[in-house]
């Protein structure tokens, strides 16, 4: 043993450099496509990383049709002066020209036949099967089909979303967090210039305690050294585990170039809990307004 070495060591080991926030680091993901069932490799990917992306779930033509319908519904909701649908608040913003638009649309498929038909695609069965026995698409439950519409410009009320786990909402809805899968369908390309989803891979395998406390839900927007950006193109579909930590980063582009629309497909299990126009506003949204996140 060279006992003296430590004494003549020319330099003491230096502390590792602090990890720079890995802003915009992307994970090289396989070019998965979704068929009638998820393949073993796709399932393993989802289980391991906590998310998965399927390319070309829909054609550009289909995306255009769906986006057009979302725009029609948007104009209709604005024209009718709606602030809520089935008790759930709509998030509204305005464009540069002052026109109002819906930035978080809820129960969208109950307003549009194309969206409703889209949700009947048998490939969604492949996803509900993975979620667990008895899962369904809840078009009239919870918030129904949600369309998030981010823009970075003055007047926009939705430019980014702080760190959170989706499962926390289960707790607010007084339900136990389950292996909830959040299924997103992209209506716009989402390159890094639009910000977009950042996830902390593997964080789905955490204790409830860590799920509650690793970050301050929705208030914290800071990049994390362990985060990865998920890029996608219009027509792609992503699934993330409801327990994974994620946020939506703000675009660096502005105006039209920052527009990012993603639909979230509501998976439900257990007894049917359909909402209607007299449904009360859930506590969660009152809290959200109070805490301004």
Ligand X SMILES: O=C(O)CCC(=O)C(=O)O
**CA separation for the pair 291, 286 (Å, rounded):** 9
Q: By CB under 6 A, is residue 248 in contact with ligand X?
A: yes
**CA separation for the pair 180, 242 (Å, rounded):** 5
CB of residue 73 to ligand X, shortest distance in Å: 18
Distance in angstroms between the alpha carbons of the first and the last residue of the chain: 59
**CA separation for the pair 33, 176 (Å, rounded):** 31
CB of residue 180 to ligand X, shortest distance in Å: 11
Among 105, 145, 161, 187, binds ligand X (CB under 6 A): 161
Output 148 or 203, the one with its CB closest to ligand X.
Answer: 148
Q: Which residues in the 256-275 window bind ligand X by CB under 6 A?
A: 262
Among 33, 65, 166, 170, binds ligand X (CB under 6 A): 166
Q: By CB under 6 A, is residue 184 in contact with ligand X?
A: yes
Q: By CB under 5 A, is residue 189 in contact with Fe ion?
A: no
Q: By CB under 5 A, is residue 220 in contact with Fe ion?
A: no
CB of residue 173 to ligand X, shortest distance in Å: 13
Q: CB-based contacts of 160: which residues, under 8 Å, 6+ apart?
A: 150, 195, 221, 247, 248, 249, 250
Output 166 or 175, the one with its CB closest to Fe ion.
Answer: 166
Output 240 or 275, the one with its CB closest to ligand X.
Answer: 240
CB of residue 104 to ligand X, shortest distance in Å: 8
Q: Single out the residue of 66, 92, 88, 68 nearest to residue 79, CA to CA.
A: 92
**CA separation for the pair 57, 134 (Å, rounded):** 23
169 φ, ψ (degrees, to nearest 5): -65, -30
Q: Which residues in the 192-231 window bind ligand X by CB under 6 A?
A: 197
32 φ, ψ (degrees, to nearest 5): -70, 150
CB of residue 8 to ligand X, shortest distance in Å: 55
Q: By CB under 5 A, is residue 170 in contact with Fe ion?
A: no
Q: Which residues in the 93-152 window bind ligand X by CB under 6 A?
A: 148
For residue 107, count CB atoms less than 10 angstroms from its CB and return exposed for 0-12, middle for 13-18, buried for 19 or more.
buried
Q: By CB under 5 A, is residue 269 in contact with Fe ion?
A: no
Cβ(144)–Cβ(95) under 8 Å?
no
Q: By CB under 5 A, is residue 166 in contact with Fe ion?
A: yes
Output 37 or 157, the one with its CB closest to ligand X.
Answer: 157
Q: Which of Fe ion, ligand X, none lies near 258, with the C-beta cut-off 5 to 8 A by kind? A: none
Q: Which of Fe ion, ligand X, none lies near 197, with the C-beta cut-off 5 to 8 A by kind? A: ligand X
235 phi-psi bin (left φ>0, alpha ψ -120 to 50, beta other): left
Output 37 or 178, the one with its CB closest to ligand X.
Answer: 178
**CA separation for the pair 136, 128 (Å, rounded):** 6
- Contact residues toward Fe ion (CB under 5 A) are 166
- Contact residues toward ligand X (CB under 6 A) are 148, 161, 166, 184, 197, 246, 248, 262
């Amino acid at each position: 043993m060279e006992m003296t070495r430590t004494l003549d060591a020319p330099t003491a080991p230096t502390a590792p450099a602090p990890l720079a926030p890995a802003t915009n680091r992307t994970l090289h993901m396989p070019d998965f496509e979704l068929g009638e069932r998820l393949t073993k490799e796709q399932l393993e990917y989802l289980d391991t990383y906590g998310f998965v992306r399927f390319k070309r779930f829909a054609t550009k033509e289909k995306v255009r049709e769906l986006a057009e319908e979302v725009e029609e519904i948007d104009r209709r909701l604005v024209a009718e002066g709606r602030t809520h649908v089935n008790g759930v608040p709509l998030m509204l913003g305005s464009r540069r020209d002052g026109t109002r638009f819906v930035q978080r649309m809820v129960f969208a498929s109950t307003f549009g036949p194309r969206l409703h038909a889209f949700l009947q695609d048998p490939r969604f069965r492949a996803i509900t099967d993975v979620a667990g026995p008895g899962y369904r698409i809840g078009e009239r439950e919870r918030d129904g089909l949600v369309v998030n519409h981010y823009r970075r410009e003055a007047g926009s009320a939705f430019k980014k979303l702080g760190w959170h786990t989706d499962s926390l909402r289960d707790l607010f809805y007084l339900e136990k967090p389950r292996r909830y899968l959040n299924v997103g369908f992209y209506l716009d390309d989402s390159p890094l210039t639009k910000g977009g989803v950042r996830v902390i891979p593997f964080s789905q395998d955490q204790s409830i305690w860590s799920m509650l406390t690793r970050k301050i839900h929705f208030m914290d927007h800071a990049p994390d050294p362990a985060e990865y950006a998920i890029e996608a193109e219009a027509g792609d579909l992503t699934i993330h585990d409801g327990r994974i930590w994620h946020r939506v980063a703000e675009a660096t582009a502005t105006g039209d170039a920052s527009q990012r629309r993603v639909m979230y497909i509501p998976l439900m299990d257990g007894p049917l809990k359909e909402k209607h126009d007299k449904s009360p506003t859930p506590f969660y949204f009152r809290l959200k307004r109070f805490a301004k996140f």
